[in-house]
Amino acid sequence: MMDLSLIFLLSLHLSLASAALFPEFIYPNFTATHLKFIDSSGAFLVSPNGTFKAAMFNPGAQQLRFYFCVVHAASNAVTWSANRDAPVSKSGSMMLTGNGLAVADEHGSIKWSTPDFRSPVSALQLTETGNLVVLDQFNTSMWESFSSPTDTIVMGQRLSMGTTLSSSVSADDLLTGGYKFVLTASDAVLHWRNLTYWKMSMDVSVYVNSFATIGFLEMNQSGVYLFDHNGSSVVVRLNLPETGFRLARIDQSGQFSILSYSGATRKQDFVMPVEKCRVPVVCGTNGLCSRGASADSTVCTCPTGFRATPNNPNFCVPSDSAYSLPVSCSQSERSESLNSSNSNYLQLGHGVDYFANEFVAPQNYGVDVSQCRNLCSQDCSCLGFFFENSSGSCYRLEDAVGSVMMRASSSRVGFIKVVVHSATSGFGSSDDEEGLPLVAVVLLPTSGLLVLFVIGILLCRKYKQNDVEFVNSLKNYSKSMSFDDLEFSIPGLPLRFDYEEIERATKNFKTTIGTGGFGTVYKGMLKDKSLVAVKRITNLGVRGKSDFCTEIGVIGSIHHLNLVKLRGYCAQRRQWLLVYEYMNRGSLDKTLFGNGPPLEWEERVEIALGAARGLAYLHSGCEHKIIHCDVKPENILLHDQNQAKLSDFGLAKLLSREDSSLFTTMRGTRGYLAPEWLTSSTVSDKTDVYSYGMVLLEIVSGRKNCMTRARSHSLDEDSSSQGTAPCEFVYFPLYALEMHEQGRYSELVDPRLVGRVTSQDVEKLVRVALCCVQEEPGLRPSMTSVVGMLEGKTPLGAVAIEALNFLRFYGRRFVESSVAAESGGLSDVMVFPGANVSHGSNVSMSTAAFSFISSQNISGPR
Ligand X SMILES: *[C@@H]1O[C@H](CO)[C@@H](O)[C@H](O)[C@H]1NC(C)=O
Binding site for ligand X (CB under 6 A): 28-29, 48-49, 98, 128, 138-139, 193-194, 220-222, 225, 230, 232, 234, 339, 341, 378, 389, 836
Beta-bridge mates of residue 301: 288
Q: How far is CA 493 from CA 20, 487, 488, 617, 748, in A?
A: 78, 13, 11, 20, 45
Q: Minimum distance between the CB of residue 400 and ligand X, rounded to whole angstroms?
A: 8
With 0-12 / 13-18 / 19 or more C-beta atoms within 10 angstroms meaning exposed / middle / buried, residue 834 is buried
Indicate the residue among 389 and 489 with the shorter CB distance to ligand X. 389
Q: Are strands 77-81 and 93-97 parallel, antiparallel or unpaired?
A: unpaired
The DSSP element (H or E) to which 735 belongs, if any, is helix 732-742
What DSSP character marks residue 617?
I
Write phi, then psi, for 461 (nearest 5 degrees).
Answer: -55, -45
Whether residue 485 lies in the annotated active site = no
Q: Minimum distance between the CB of residue 198 and ligand X, rounded to whole angstroms?
A: 17
Sequence letter at residue 172? D
- Asked if 102 and 95 count as a contact pair (C-beta separation under 8 A), the reply is yes
Cα–chain-centroid distance for residue 125? 38
Indicate the residue among 302 and 380 with the shorter CB distance to ligand X. 380
Alpha-carbon distance of 755 to 732, in angstroms, equals 21
Indicate the residue among 830 and 858 with the shorter CB distance to ligand X. 830
SS3 326: coil
Indicate the residue among 179 and 580 with the shorter CB distance to ligand X. 179
The catalytically annotated residue of 630, 648, 688, 750 is: 630
Indicate the residue among 412 and 475 with the shorter CB distance to ligand X. 412
- Asked if 705 and 732 count as a contact pair (C-beta separation under 8 A), the reply is yes
Q: Minimum distance between the CB of residue 138 and ligand X, rounded to whole angstroms?
A: 5
Dihedral Cα 627, 630, 634, 640, nearest 10 deg = 0
Q: Is 523 annotated as a binding residue?
A: no
Indicate the residue among 180 and 278 with the shorter CB distance to ligand X. 180
Long-range (24+ apart) CB contacts under 8 A made by 465-472 are 465/426, 465/427, 465/429, 465/653, 466/423, 466/426, 466/427, 467/624, 467/625, 468/554, 468/624, 468/625, 468/626, 470/553, 470/554, 470/623, 470/624, 471/550, 471/553, 471/554, 471/624, 472/427
With 0-12 / 13-18 / 19 or more C-beta atoms within 10 angstroms meaning exposed / middle / buried, residue 193 is buried
Q: Minimum distance between the CB of residue 620 and ligand X, rounded to whole angstroms?
A: 33
Name the residue among 737, 635, 621, 619 with its Cα closest to residue 686. Answer: 619
- Exposure b/e, 709-723, CB count within 10 A at least 16 = b: eeeeeeeeeebeebe
Q: Minimum distance between the CB of residue 593 and ligand X, rounded to whole angstroms?
A: 33
> What's the 3-state SS for 376-413?
HHCCCCEEEEEEECCCCEEEEEECCCCCEEECCCCCEE
- Asked if 691 and 677 count as a contact pair (C-beta separation under 8 A), the reply is no
Count other C-beta atoms under 10 Å from residue 519's C-beta.
21
Indicate the residue among 232 and 294 with the shorter CB distance to ligand X. 232
Indicate the residue among 392 and 668 with the shorter CB distance to ligand X. 392
Long-range (24+ apart) CB contacts under 8 A made by 503-510 are 505/532, 505/534, 506/534, 509/534, 509/536
Write phi, then psi, for 204 (nearest 5 degrees).
Answer: -65, -25
> What's the 3-state SS for 687-734?
HHHHHHHHHHHHHHHCCCCEEEEECCHHHHCCCCCCCCCCEEEEEHHH
Q: How many residues belong to the chain?
A: 862
SS3 811: helix
Indicate the residue among 21 and 38 with the shorter CB distance to ligand X. 21
Q: Minimum distance between the CB of residue 677 and ligand X, rounded to whole angstroms?
A: 20
Indicate the residue among 141 and 660 with the shorter CB distance to ligand X. 141
- Exposure b/e, 574-606, CB count within 10 A at least 16 = b: eebbbbbbbbeeebbbbbbeeeeebbebebbbb
Q: Minimum distance between the CB of residue 378 and ligand X, rounded to whole angstroms?
A: 5
Q: Minimum distance between the CB of residue 393 and ligand X, rounded to whole angstroms?
A: 11
SS3 58: coil
Question: CA angle, 591 as apex, 589 and 595 as ends, to 5°?
Answer: 110
- Asked if 143 and 136 count as a contact pair (C-beta separation under 8 A), the reply is no
Q: Which residues contact 300 (CB under 8 A, 6 or more apart)?
A: 282, 283, 284, 287, 288, 289, 313, 314, 403
Indicate the residue among 28 and 351 with the shorter CB distance to ligand X. 28
Q: Minimum distance between the CB of residue 221 and ligand X, rounded to whole angstroms?
A: 4
Q: Would you name the residues annotated as active-site residues?
A: 630
Binding-site residues for ATP: 535
Binding-site residues: 535
